[in-house]
Chain A
Amino acid sequence: MSVEAPEARMSVAELAPDTTPAAPAAALRIALVGNPNCGKTALFNALTGARQKVANYAGVTVERKEGLAHGPNGETLRVLDLPGTYSLRARSPDEVITRDVALGRLEGETPPDVMICVADATNLRLVLRLVLELKQIGRPMVLALNMYDIAERQGWSIDLDRLSRELGMPVVTTVATRKRGLDKLLVAVEAVAGAAHEVPAWREPSAGELRAAHAEAERIRKTCIRPPSHPDTLTGRLDSVLLHPVAGVAILLTVLFLMFQAVFSWAQPPMDLIKSAFDHLSTLITQVMPDGVLRSLICDGIISGVGSVLVFVPQIMILFLFIILLEDSGYMARAAFLMDKIMGGAGLHGRAFIPLLSSFACAIPGIMGARVIDNKRDRLTTILVAPLMTCSARIPVYTLIISAFIPNRAVWGFASLQGLVMFGLYATGILSALAVGFVVRKVFWRGATEPFLMELPAYKRPDAKNVAMGVLTRGKIFVKRAGTVILAMMIVVWFLSSVPGPPPGAVGPAINYSFAGMIGHGLEPLLRPIGFTWQIAVALIPGMAAREVAVAALGTVYAVSGGEGATGPLAGVLHAHWSLATALALLAWYVFAPQCAATLGVIKRETNSWTWPTVTFFYMLALAYAAAFATFHIAQAFGA
């Protein structure tokens, strides 16, 4: 069977939402263009004070970002950060944005007054051709040689004056991460901004013209740039081990394994601290406030619900500490290289690795990151499987159930069993994404996958500030969600669990007579075959907003239920109420469950169609139900 891949009818304007702060209409507009992974976003952050994500691999920026900076005389400048590209012959949607902004073709976007072509000073081979292409547009331009400190350290010798004369534009050296060279850069920008220029009609260069441009770029490179006399061989030596087909894969698995072990063992002390802080707060409120509806709302609804989610902040921050360290060092690009063969076997494009990697944080940037894939079928396949990667919202669900049901004991003398189960859940997510990709590309949309070309960045020592900012940002996002979406949902869940009250003479917990009880009992027959209780059914509904809301909802539902075994840490409460088979079935459910409205929303936005979010929802729901059903019955057969 073969189904025609749809046209992903994306308009570029849709891909580039305007979120710019107000600036004077006459402010100078500066666009940052350059090859992928040359430090455009680092320069953008340095100029504007923004905190956009930067990492040591190509394809991090997939949409245009705008911010305000101040020129040498205090005047306001509008700075535009654009996705990286090697040429104006754009193929993927992110490259189309860069080309259209540079050419002034993007609808609703004023053409830039000046372009800053950002280049990695240690790797000028490909950027010179892009500079020559950009020159054809005719806009005033400045070349910023970024990471110049590394180039100097490595022994590169660049004749800046000659390079400037050859290219016919100012050349400025910068170190964006240290905010060096920014003043000179802005002075150069202002100097060229006033120069008269005309914008000729641009047409896509032919292959012959590109070859000629490449030859000219090579001539300039050889004239102006002298490579180090003692080339740095560290990257090569490290790669001979880390990219080895056997040793490389073994090292990658070991790194991931150690990461999940650390998530469990390092996070415990801060988690205990947060847990006891919420317990104290609840006790204090119980002592201070008289018994009543408001106290129940605060203690059973807000503190039990939001508190049970906030406990997981340390684990999320530790996980991201590892991910950001691996990204910044340049190792993640190597992981993409190692995974390419496996992913290609499953029908996924090699460039899908970075979007899928982003999905470990959240499926939304992962789905948006699929814009780096130019083939529409490959891009849609990546979008369809991205929600299967284990996002950070699943961590609270997984860790809650693991800590409640999996004993904290060592296996093989050194590994924690809980960490091992967590590793297994992540591996299941990855394997299921590969399996779904295989079915989609080999059964429905048959066709050859395109070869994967990716420039491997040099290894770098991670920048402490960038790592700290990245970890704090992830923590802040999680806490903000807890204080907004989760807080509001828990108040609603508390209301549904408390109203209406039990009739006179009723026996059993009051929640049985509430709206939530009615909904839960109504859904129970559907979920009984997979071992779920009616309380789980209640938690799954608000969990549609975001997966971690289910944990908060369980906290609230059991707190409102009261009764024996309903007090104390949520993990203990669940252990008292659920069988091991039910717990394992819920874990299997959450590997696949399409419980994230925002993800479905972004799939709709990226494909400009309701078809694909609908397909995603139903295929994931079917997989979740089947996996939970199989897990529950197999576990029961083993006496769990």
Chain B
Amino acid sequence: MVQAALAYLIVALAFAWVVWRMFVPGKVKADLMTRWRRKR
């Protein structure tokens, strides 16, 4: 059960990373990163 949860968590992270890397336009990424840095 723990093994499966961990495996699917890794899959979800990989999915999110692929979407972020390949499908989010560079300008949107830059804006989001700037906002995030300002918040910090």
Q: Give me the interface of A with B, judged by CB distance under 8 Å.
A: 290, 292-297, 485, 487-489, 491-492, 494-495, 545, 597
B21 touches A295 (CB 8 A): no
Return the chain B residue nearest A291 by Cβ.
B3
Per-position 1/0 for B11-23, Cβ under 8 A of A: 1001101100110
Smallest distance from the beta carbon of B18 to chain A beta carbons, Å?
A: 5
Q: How far is the CA of A190 from the CA of B13 in the complex (A)?
A: 50
Partner of B18, one of A292, A293, A296, A492: A492
Partner of A292, one of B3, B14, B15: B3
Partner of A492, one of B3, B4, B6, B15: B15
B4 touches A488 (CB 8 A): no
Could you pull out 25 A-B pairs where Cβ atoms are within 8 angstroms? A290-B3, A292-B3, A292-B4, A293-B4, A293-B7, A293-B8, A294-B4, A294-B6, A296-B7, A297-B7, A297-B11, A485-B21, A488-B14, A488-B17, A488-B21, A489-B14, A489-B18, A491-B10, A491-B11, A492-B15, A492-B18, A494-B11, A495-B15, A545-B22, A597-B22
Chain B contacts for A485, CB-based, 8 A: 21
Query: How many residues from B make CB contacts under 8 Å with A?
Result: 13
Smallest distance from the beta carbon of A545 to chain B beta carbons, Å?
A: 6
Chain A contacts for B6, CB-based, 8 A: 294
Chain B contacts for A597, CB-based, 8 A: 22
Partner of A294, one of B3, B14, B17, B18: B3
| For the complex of A and B, 3 pairs with smallest distance between CB atoms | A491-B14, A294-B3, A292-B3
Chain B contacts for A487, CB-based, 8 A: 14
Q: How far is the CA of A589 from the CA of B23 in the complex (A)?
A: 25
A297 touches B18 (CB 8 A): no
Smallest distance from the beta carbon of A552 to chain B beta carbons, Å?
A: 13
Q: Give me the interface of B with A, judged by CB distance under 8 Å.
A: 3-4, 6-8, 10-11, 14-15, 17-18, 21-22
Return the chain B residue nearest A485 by Cβ.
B21
Smallest distance from the beta carbon of B21 to chain A beta carbons, Å?
A: 7
Smallest distance from the beta carbon of B4 to chain A beta carbons, Å?
A: 5
Chain B contacts for A491, CB-based, 8 A: 10-11, 14
Chain B contacts for A296, CB-based, 8 A: 7
Q: How far is the CA of A119 from the CA of B21 in the complex (A)?
A: 41
Given A294-B6, A294-B7, A297-B7, A492 and B14 touching (CB < 8 A)? Answer: yes
Chain B contacts for A294, CB-based, 8 A: 3-4, 6-7
Return the chain A residue nearest B16 by Cβ.
A488
Q: How far is the CA of A494 from the CA of B10 in the complex (A)?
A: 11
Q: How far is the CA of A343 from the CA of B39 in the complex (A)?
A: 54
Chain B contacts for A295, CB-based, 8 A: 3
Q: How far is the CA of A246 from the CA of B7 in the complex (A)?
A: 61
Chain A contacts for B4, CB-based, 8 A: 292-294
Q: How far is the CA of A597 from the CA of B23 in the complex (A)?
A: 10
Q: How far is the CA of A38 from the CA of B40 in the complex (A)?
A: 44
Q: How far is the CA of A293 from the CA of B21 in the complex (A)?
A: 26
Smallest distance from the beta carbon of B26 to chain A beta carbons, Å?
A: 8
Q: How far is the CA of A489 from the CA of B8 in the complex (A)?
A: 14
Chain A contacts for B8, CB-based, 8 A: 293
Given A294-B4, A294-B6, A295-B3, A492 and B22 touching (CB < 8 A)? Answer: no
Chain A contacts for B11, CB-based, 8 A: 297, 491-492, 494-495
Return the chain A residue nearest B2 by Cβ.
A294
Q: How far is the CA of A69 from the CA of B23 in the complex (A)?
A: 36
